[in-house]
Chain A
């Protein structure tokens, strides 16, 4: 089945220690997104890639970076995690289509910062 896969599902890191979360997709969608979600709130968009074109949200901290080496993979790098970065991180994909952008989410990575 075509899907969005995130690894790992659970990640524990230390305060200030860089961490990388990964996402892969078999849907061949050209748009990939990274969201941060805290305790039952709506997902908050961090950035997205349209093909290789990176689009950062204005309020995304510089501490968060992303890489998309090819269509299938996308990575979220947190350079110096703080306690406030503990959250669920969701990857999503979408086809480029007028008006819609229906999104297909992965299962998420729960990040704990100690």
Chain B
């Protein structure tokens, strides 16, 4: 069974600080996705990374897919209170099911 481990589990920072969230696995994934979930809402897809070593930027968010496609990171520059939420990485399950394996999540709180 493929597992995705995220770290840290919880992060509380001040507005303007930088942070990095990690998503690691011992398995190779064909792609990895990042979602952000705000309190009381459903997750929203932020990005999909497909190629080993790929870097994608979404405003102040930078996503990287590891060369071996076993890990990914999310870096936020100058965090803002609007970045607060649960960040989830996810990748296609290995069993041929049309499903995703989700990481355990990182809860980010940005204090003004």
Question: Which of A's residues lie within 8 Å of B, judged by CB?
Answer: 4, 6, 31, 33, 40-43, 45, 48, 50, 55, 90, 92, 94, 96, 99-108, 110
| Residues of chain B at the chain A interface (Cβ within 8 Å) | 30-31, 33, 35, 40-45, 48, 86, 88, 90, 92, 97-100, 102-105, 107
Cβ A102 vs Cβ B40 within 8 A? no
Inter-chain contact A103/B41, CB cutoff 8 Å: no
Interchain nearest-CB distance for A37 vs B (Å): 9
CB distance A90 to B92 under 8 Å? no
CB within 8 Å for A105 and B107 given contacts A33-B99, A43-B102, A48-B98: no
Q: How many A-B residue pairs have CB under 8 A?
A: 61
A50 to B107, CA, bound (A): 31
Q: Residue B48 contacts which of A6, A48, A100 (CB distance < 8 angstroms)?
A: A100
Taking a contact as CB atoms closer than 8 A, the residue among A4, A94, A104, A108 that contacts B98 in the complex is A94
